[in-house]
Structures are given as structure tokens and as C-alpha cells.
Chains A and B, each alone.
Chain A
Amino acid sequence: MSLAVRLQALAVSALILAAFLALWQIGVSGTGPTQQMDPEYAKLMGATATEGKSAMPGPLDVGRTIWGHLKDPFYDKGPNDKGIGIQLAWSILRVGIGYLAAVLVAIPIGFLIGMSPLMSRALNPYIQLLKPVSPLAWMPLALYTIKDSGISAIFVIFICSLWPMLINTAFGVASVRREWLNVARTLEVGPLRRAFTIILPAAAPTILTGMRISIGIAWLVIVAAEMLVGGTGIGYFVWNQWNNLSIVDVITSIVAIGLVGMVLDQLLAQAQKLVTFPE
């Protein structure tokens, strides 16, 4: 893409953002009808009901909140009041552990399936059966057997990261070009050296694609999992702010979740670039 097109795209992006923020601000600044009510009740309901102020916070409110979080992301004032940074760190930690465990399991098993038609056939029914199960369906079972909500969340991340990596590794390994394998055969390369010098580099782009899909799913699932198990994490934070009726914080979390997800995806995209080879 030429520089001019890039600049134009940037300008359009900025325009869309400005229009969105403006519409948002206009949308929430109008006053709705107010009801007559008992003063005690009115106090309970807050400004929304008594002054007709919109329940939705405006972009300025959200901006202020984000600024507040940015100033002190890691404060800790007890179990129900921690900074958004701490909550995100918990979520990233859980995703990291569950995801790495899945890598360690999926890639060797994927290799096995990809290299052995027998194992591929033998394991296929289980994969086909378990793959479509929502990872959250495992949660009760995990809570019951593990008896620890944090580790259960990690287990759910492990399960949901497993399938894309397993399937992509198996596919990548199985579709290594016959001629590259023949090169290794004519050079009398042993099975272990062949796995590391031919099959792994040849399948790496496909494996990385699976890893990238997995990290995306893991980051989607962690929010829901933490809403269920509670305690810490960005999912719990969102749910907690909803219970506090702090829509500003909910919106702030949505932005934060999006940003972290984007960074995780970009990290794997970079890794993918490193192992991709032109043909």
C-alpha cells in the first residue's frame, strides 16, 4: 500500500472515531421524562430517574474513568476493589498458563496424529466429539474435581486452546510435501532429526496459525470463565461493575479487553511472520 492510501485510511479511521464519539455524546446528553416519586426512592434511583439524565455515560465520563484507571491501575483496596491493571494481569496470567499447557500437549500429540495415519484414525472420533463442546461446559466438572476456582478457569482455557492447535499441527504435519520428506529419506536422515529439521519448519506456519486462533479463543473465554468463578480477573471486574451499576467501568473494561486481545494477536502474528517462508 502506498503512503498516500495509508494516510487516507488513517484519516477515515479518525473521522469514524470522531463521528462515533460525537453521536454518542449527543445521544446521552438529552434529558428524558422525569417521574414524580417518593424522595427516599428517588435518592435510591439516583440522577437517572430524578433528573431525567441518561443512564448511559457519555464519552467524556468514560474518558475520565479511563484516565483515573491509567493513573493508578494497580491499587488494591480489598477483594472487591482492585485496579483494572491487577485484574487484567490476573486474566493474562490464567490465559498464559492454560495456553502454554495446551501448547505442550497439543503440539506433540498433533505431531503424532499427523505422522501416523493409525493414530489419526484412532483419535479422530474423540477430537470430533470434544471439539464442539463449549469450553464453559467443562466448568462444573472442573470445579467439582479441582475444587479451586482459579485453576478451574485455567483448565477451561487449556481445553479451549487445545483443539485449534491440535488440529492445525496434525494437518500441518500430515501435509508436509512428499518431496521434502524424500530429500530427507535419500540423505538417510533419522526420524528425530527429520522431525526437527524438515517437518517442524515445514509445518510451522500452519502450527502458528492454530496457535493464533487459540489465543484469540482463550482471550474470549477467560472473560466468561471469570464471570462464573469470580474473585479476580477482568471478567469478574466487568461483572462486579455491572452489579455496581457502573456502566462507565464496564465500557472501560470493554476497551481494555479489546486492547489486550489485539496485542496478544499481534504477538502471534509477528511470530508467524518469523516462521513463514516464501515458496
Chain B
Amino acid sequence: MGQNLIAIEGIAKRYPAKGGGETTVFEDLWLRVRRGEFVCVIGHSGCGKTTVLNILAGLDAPSAGTVIVDGREIAGPALDRAVIFQGHALLPWKSVLGNVAYAVASRWRKAPKAEIEARARAAIAKVGLAGSENKRPAELSGGMKQRVGIARALAIEPKILLMDEPFSALDALTRGTLQEEARRICRETGQTVYMITHDVDEAIYLADKIVLMTNGPGARIAEIVENPLPADRRQGAIHHDPNYYALRNHLIDFLVSRSKTFRDNPPPGYDPRHPPLVRLGGPAPEPRLPRAGEAERHLEAAAG
């Protein structure tokens, strides 16, 4: 408690299996996120990342365990947790302004129209879309749609921002720009963020802490890696940092090999209630460059 804004306490998700019985997607998941922290979750496809995010959002309920946000157990979705959906989920019959204003009007129900519009316009300007207020989502590019999604989420000033692979459908250039803006905005406002990604570099650039999930079924949080890169790191220059390759190799190594074996052979002393916090850095460890194409192959597999 105390500084912890989010406390995930022993949650599990089970689905009835086809031939009777149950499959456990994940179980005994514990995680604490501090106020103002930017957390990225990495894990193989199907390990349950989206399910955890939906539980945090209140859109889904865990089969066991609880989630505590700001000292209170959550019961369903609420305005203190904004979600940026993977498929942007804009309302196509509303304009950009209409989409953002809808969220603002839901947050401040009694606010006068002018104030709602002003807040919505401010949020749209913050993501660099001033001038496009009256466009329909269908008239926007993928990157612009995702910006509207970010504006809509930020406009309600949530305690927690939940993002499910927000940039994965974008081209590399747009993704880079949006990552930069997202990081700037979140740092300026001290936003607490819980984000899922498949992109190791994205996690390294954005996250304060990177949560590694093992493969399912029965997935766990294997460890939490602290980002050793300086807070004023710049997009496109992170790979010059002396700690960059150590961190990247650690993450890739986990995804490529350890994520499969971790569940059955946990390291001695592993306690799911307190997943080990890994600090890299200091004297640079033995550089282990991934074999050619290894990272890319892995990322493709993970994205599939």
C-alpha cells in the first residue's frame, strides 16, 4: 500500500475446457504499480496480457483474487481507469471532437457545454490534432485515430491509463512519433500507465518497469525488470546507452527461451507474491548479441 496505486493480488483466470474441466490462463498473479510509474508488460501471445488488462479496466472479472486501485477493491469499470483499445474503438458516427467530448461529458456530467468542448479541444490539441476536430474517424489515418484514442483517454484525467498494444498497428515512423509524444505527455502529467506491448524497444524506451509474463496456460509473472536507462532518454538514441544491449538481451533471452521453461522450472526461492525485481546495469555484463534474425523471428511469432 502507501505509494502503490495498483495492487493486483493473486488473480487467476480460468475458462471451462472443451473436454470438461478447466484451463487456467494464468494464476497467482501479483503485481504492484506505484503512482506515476510507467509499466510495460511483455509476454508471448495468448499468455493472458489482454485478460489482465481487461480485469484492471473492470471489463472482465478474475476467477480468483482481487485488484485494488488507490486503496479500494475494484468492482467493474470506472472513470478513474481509462482504456486505450488496440483497435482504437472510436465511434465512427461521431467527429473527432464528438468522440472526445463524449468522454468528457461522461466524466463531468453536470459541466456546461462550453466547458466540455473546451476540455475536449485542449485534449485534441495535446495530441497534435488541432484543426481536425470536425473530421470523422473514417477520414483519419491509423496514427491519427490512435491519437484520438489517446486524447479521449487523457481528457478524462484518469488515475490510470491502460493501453493494449496501442501502437502495434502503425508504421515504424508514426509509431516512433507517437511513442515520443505519449512519453512526453505521461511524464509531464505524472500519469500512471499500464501498457501491453510486443515490441521490446518500445518497452525499453517507454517503461520504468518491464513486467515479464511466462507462457500460458498457467502463466505467472516471472520477474520485473527495472529500466536502467536515464529518465531523459531520447527516442532513436536509446541504443547508444551503455545499458541498452544488456537490457535488450535480457528481455529477448527471456522471450526466446526462459518464458517457456520458467513455469515448470522456476528459479530457487521464486515467490509469485513477490516476483524478483531485476536491476541490470553497473558493470556491463558479457554482451550477448542475439543471433541474426532471432529477435525479428521471435517478434513476428509473438505478434501473430
Instruction: Please list the residues of chain A having a beta carbon within 8 angstroms of any beta carbon in chain B.
Output: 177, 179-180, 182-183, 185-189, 197-198, 201-202, 275, 277-279
Contacts and interface: CB of A to CB of B under 8 A. Distances in A.
A187 B93 contact: no
Contacts of B57: 186
Contacts of A189: 106
From DSSP, what is the main secondary structure of chain A's interface residues?
helix
A275 to B, nearest CB: 8
Interface stretch (B84-92, B195-203, B272-280, B292-300): B84-92
A182 B85 contact: yes
Contacts of B103: 187
Given A186-B81, A186-B83, A187-B79, 9 more contacts: A177-B89, A179-B85, A180-B89, A186-B79, A187-B102, A187-B106, A198-B91, A202-B91, A279-B137
Contacts of A279: 92, 137-138
Contacts of A185: 58-59, 76-77
Q: Which of A183, A185, A278 has the most CB of B within 10 A?
A: A183
Contacts of A180: 89, 91
B219 interface: no
Contacts of A197: 102
Q: Which of the listed residues A187, A189, A201 has the most CB atoms from chain B within 10 Å of its own CB?
A: A187
Contacts of B83: 182, 186
Nearest to A187: B106
A279 B58 CA distance: 27
B52 interface: no
A279 B139 CA distance: 9
9 contacts: A182-B83, A187-B79, A187-B103, A188-B78, A202-B93, A277-B92, A278-B92, A279-B137, A279-B138
B178 interface: no
A188 B77 contact: yes
